[in-house]
Amino acid sequence: MTVFSAPDYDGHEHVSFGHDPETGLRAIIAIHNSNLGPGVGGCRMWPYENDMTALHDALRLSRGMTYKSALAGLPFGGGKSVIIGDARTDKTPALMQAMGRFVESLSGRYIAAEDIGMTVADMDEMATVTDHVTGTSATSGNPSPYTAYGVMRGIEAAVEYKFQRNDGLEDTHVAIQGLGAVGFDLARRLHEKGARLHVADINIEAVQKAVDEFGATPVDTHEIHAVDVDVFAPCALGAVINDTTVNELGAKIIAGSANNQLAEDRHGSALTARDILYAPDYVINAGGIIEIAHGKKFGGDHDDVEIYAHLDGIHDTLSEIFKRAETEGAATNFVADKMAEERFKTTI
Ligand code: NAD
């Protein structure tokens, strides 16, 4: 296996491979950049088909965290860890402690948070052997409502910019793909603002609930991206903007919580060419890491007033990205990357 020539290697500062023979732990910690602070990011447990796929994920995700934290105005660098294994069958308290010792071995250069395959109980187990972990029952709570609020503020920024209106979201039509932890809370918040909702989920109970509670219009999961609305909010899967869907989109704005919404960066340019305004995913969905930053682990007292004030910054950052993109004639995702780099590459 090669690291320095891996496709996702981007000058990463540090990559560690951890193995514990007792528990069978095989894990990777990647720190992309720590100019702004320690690498903070989720620990993901996934049954990767091979070591290279796991490395690819660790490199890609840690780089993403550098950009996300920089634009969220956080004193964090980018880090991420992956455990190779099936969270349903391979996870034991001893394995979590072994991962905790691996995190501890980096002396705080990386701070682990919850991600796919991990629970608050797992983070608690890791915390028995290291202080360099957050997302425990003692440090912070459920990030989804904060993420949903940030997405709603991002939608407001996009609507203001695109339609030159400053009178809120009344009668704005929003199509939400995915009514999970973030999507459903977003639907509630948008409904309270007077928006008209169109919703799709493979979970028909969630759809029915949105119909009953918010008067939402149900849409087929294969057609939600193509509905003729003001805003399409992807809140389920990645790569929803791809060669096929990019020509079928019915919305004037793409703004949702899903990670990695663009199949490739060039799809951002394709959206610009179609005059569709895209709120870059890692900017609009930063609510979770912002909430973590205000938790006890980082000396905060998880004060909601402070957290929501910080989340309001998502609106302002997006407004700046939209303006710069128009001035520079560039796609919003490229402008966001450039703005993040201006922040984390200049501080040593
Ligand atoms: P979730 O698992 O709670 O919800 C996802 C929802 O999408 C589920 O209801 C699921 O049934 C639905 N879904 C799956 N496939 C679908 C399809 N083909 N069509 C329509 N719906 C489908 O996840 P979540 O925590 O709400 O996160 C949603 C997205 O936002 C994910 O991409 C996640 O990575 C991202 N995100 C979440 C947070 C957070 O705080 N939870 C933070 C940042 C980014």
CATH number for the domain harbouring residue 103: 3.40.50.10860
Residues 116 and 152 in one domain: no
Residues 332 and 282 in one domain: yes
Pocket probe for ligand 1: among 146, 201, 240, 290, the residue whose CB has the most ligand atoms within 8 Å is 201
Residues 182 and 325 in one domain: yes
Residues 225 and 257 in one domain: yes
Question: How many angstroms separate the alpha carbon of residue 328 from the centre of ligand 1?
Answer: 33
Structural domain that includes position 245: 144-289+296-344
Active site residue 80: yes
Domain count, the chain: 2
Question: What does the pLDDT read at residue 347?
Answer: 52
Q: Is 54 in the pocket of ligand 1 (CB under 6 A)?
A: no
Burial class of 236 by CB neighbour count within 10 A (0 to 12, 13 to 18, 19+):
buried
Torsional sign, CA 89, 94, 100, 105: negative
Whether 262 is in a domain gets the answer yes
Question: What does the pLDDT read at residue 290?
Answer: 96
Residues 84 and 148 in one domain: no
Question: What does the pLDDT read at residue 142?
Answer: 82
Residues 97 and 170 in one domain: no
Give the start-end residues of each E strand in the chain: 14-20, 25-33, 39-46, 77-84, 110-114, 173-177, 196-200, 217-218, 231-234, 253-254, 277-278
Question: How many angstroms separate the alpha carbon of residue 258 from the centre of ligand 1?
Answer: 7
Looking at the DSSP assignment, which residues form a beta bridge with residue 39?
Answer: 77, 110
Residues 90 and 148 in one domain: no
Question: How many angstroms separate the alpha carbon of residue 255 from the centre of ligand 1?
Answer: 14
Question: How many angstroms separate the alpha carbon of residue 337 from the centre of ligand 1?
Answer: 24
Q: Is 117 in the pocket of ligand 1 (CB under 6 A)?
A: no
Q: Is 203 in the pocket of ligand 1 (CB under 6 A)?
A: yes
| Spatial distance between the Cα atoms of 58 and 204, rounded to a whole number of angstroms | 33
Domain boundary among 126, 157, 189: 126
| Spatial distance between the Cα atoms of 46 and 28, rounded to a whole number of angstroms | 12
Whether 132 is in a domain gets the answer no
Residues 181 and 319 in one domain: yes
Considering the entire predicted model, what is its pTM? 0.94
Q: State which ligand 1 atom lies nearest to the alpha carbon of 281.
A: 44
Q: Is 258 in the pocket of ligand 1 (CB under 6 A)?
A: yes
Residues 327 and 199 in one domain: yes
Whether 282 is in a domain gets the answer yes
- The tokens for 287 are 């609510």
Residues 227 and 336 in one domain: yes
Query: Is 41:113 a contact under the CB 8 Å cutoff?
Result: yes
- The tokens for 246 are 């990019």
Strands 77-84 and 25-33: antiparallel
- The tokens for 40 are 């903070």
Annotated catalytic residue within 68, 80, 91, 297: 80
Mean pLDDT per 10-residue interval, the chain, length 348 residues: 88 97 98 97 96 95 97 97 97 98 98 93 97 88 92 98 96 98 97 98 98 98 98 95 98 96 97 98 97 91 95 98 97 98 81
